[in-house]
């Protein structure tokens, strides 16, 4: 099974674990027989959940009772030591026993433990948290989403290169358009850091992406830009705003369609379109933030997602490894 992509899975992180994690692995294995799952966690619980559901040639369980809690601070999580499921999963990537690591556990602890175990890619100063967002045409990569509150122009340029490398790993046939998230589209808008970054990117010629200048928050979903670059403070605010807006629209639409008899009749007549709309805004389709800048890829699944969302983030892991993300970043940087 040496030709399979090996994913190290922290089975004990996130709500409803390990059942959600194992159910996600079982679902993922139904459609993808190219993955070997190295599962870290309580063997007594995990073996009962996975037994007879997938062929044992596709997985192994590495037992540990120690777990980083969701309530731990990043430092507390790291102090829980080298026997936790999260630490062991990351260590397996460090030791080249796995190609990529995924956890639905404590985000802060994951970033700290990953930084303690894995080296930075040469010439990159800070890693970034990136994710996939839906747009009118397909998907965009957005980064940084909260790993770095303050960024220099060098950091934002690195994020541009890493984001473009991630996009081409996931979508090999496309050359991405990269833009800087800003308060206006004119060159004079924004703070000194973003204006300096604009000047440098504008003067550079890159074979890996097209620089599309600035993008404002109200155009994030237009689909003209594939990679959206920001500092972690702005990116996190944009992410939470987009998530909140999507939830608001979905819940208000549901209320309208089920509130009275006319609404119910209308929803029955439009059931096909409503299903398409619901699927388009389903957050499970976009589950899986990617921590990039380290010399091994680290994926963070949303702690509150269900097994379908976790299965989708395993797909993201597979595509990242298959697309040679780390080699692309090293080459492009």
The band of 66, judged by pLDDT with boundaries at 50, 70 and 90, is: very high
Residue for token digits 């599962």? 39
Q: What is the CATH number of domain 125-286?
A: 3.40.718.10
Query: Model's pTM, two decimal places?
Result: 0.84
Q: State the DSSP code for 68.
A: -
Name the range with the highest mean pLDDT among 92-96, 146-150, 282-286.
92-96
Helix (H) or strand (E) holding 5: strand 5-10
Residue for token digits 């500092």? 231
Instruction: Give the homologous superfamily in CATH for domain 1-123+293-326.
Output: Isopropylmalate Dehydrogenase (3.40.718.10)
The predicted-structure confidence for 153-178, as pLDDT tens digits, reads as follows 999 999 999 999 999 998 988 899 99
Identical fold for domains 1-123+293-326 and 125-286, yes or no, is yes
The predicted-structure confidence for 241-285, as pLDDT tens digits, reads as follows 877 777 787 677 677 666 666 556 655 556 565 566 555 555 556
Q: Is 84 left (phi over 0), alpha (psi -120 to 50) or beta?
A: beta
Domain boundaries, the chain: 1-123+293-326, 125-286
Helices (H), the chain: 19-31, 43-50, 74-79, 85-94, 107-117, 153-170, 192-203, 232-258, 261-269, 271-280, 307-322, 325-332
């Amino acid at each position: 099974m040496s030709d399979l992509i090996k994913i190290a899975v922290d089975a004990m992180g996130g709500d409803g674990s390990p059942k959600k994690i194992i159910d996600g692995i079982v679902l993922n294995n139904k459609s993808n027989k190219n993955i070997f799952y190295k599962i870290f966690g309580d063997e007594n619980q995990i073996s009962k959940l996975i037994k007879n559901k997938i062929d044992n040639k596709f997985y192994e369980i590495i037992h540990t009772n120690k777990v980083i809690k969701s309530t731990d601070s990043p430092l507390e999580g790291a102090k829980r030591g080298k026997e936790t499921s999260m630490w062991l999963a990351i260590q397996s990537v460090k030791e080249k026993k796995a190609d990529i690591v995924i956890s639905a556990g404590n985000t802060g602890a994951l970033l700290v433990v990953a930084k303690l175990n894995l080296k930075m890619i040469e010439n990159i100063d800070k890693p970034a948290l990136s994710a996939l967002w839906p747009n009118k045409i397909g998907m965009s990569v957005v980064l940084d989403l909260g790993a770095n509150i303050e960024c220099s122009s060098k950091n934002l340029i690195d994020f541009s290169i890493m984001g473009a490398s991630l996009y081409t790993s996931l979508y090999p046939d496309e050359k991405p358009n990269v833009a800087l998230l800003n308060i206006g589209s004119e060159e004079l808008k924004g703070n000194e850091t973003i204006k300096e970054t604009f000047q440098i990117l504008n003067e550079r010629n890159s074979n890996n992406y097209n620089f599309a200048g600035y993008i404002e928050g109200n155009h994030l979903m237009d689909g003209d830009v594939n990679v959206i670059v920001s500092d972690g403070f702005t990116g996190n605010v944009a992410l939470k705003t987009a998530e909140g807006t999507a939830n608001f629209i979905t819940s208000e639409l549901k209320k309208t369609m089920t509130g009275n008899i006319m609404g119910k009749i209308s929803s029955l007549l439009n059931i096909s379109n409503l299903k398409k709309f619901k699927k388009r805004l389903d957050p499970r389709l976009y589950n899986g933030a990617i921590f990039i800048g380290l010399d091994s890829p680290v994926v963070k699944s949303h702690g509150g997602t269900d097994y379908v969302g976790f299965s989708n983030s395993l797909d993201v892991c597979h595509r990242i490894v298959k697309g040679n993300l780390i080699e692309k970043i090293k080459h492009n940087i």
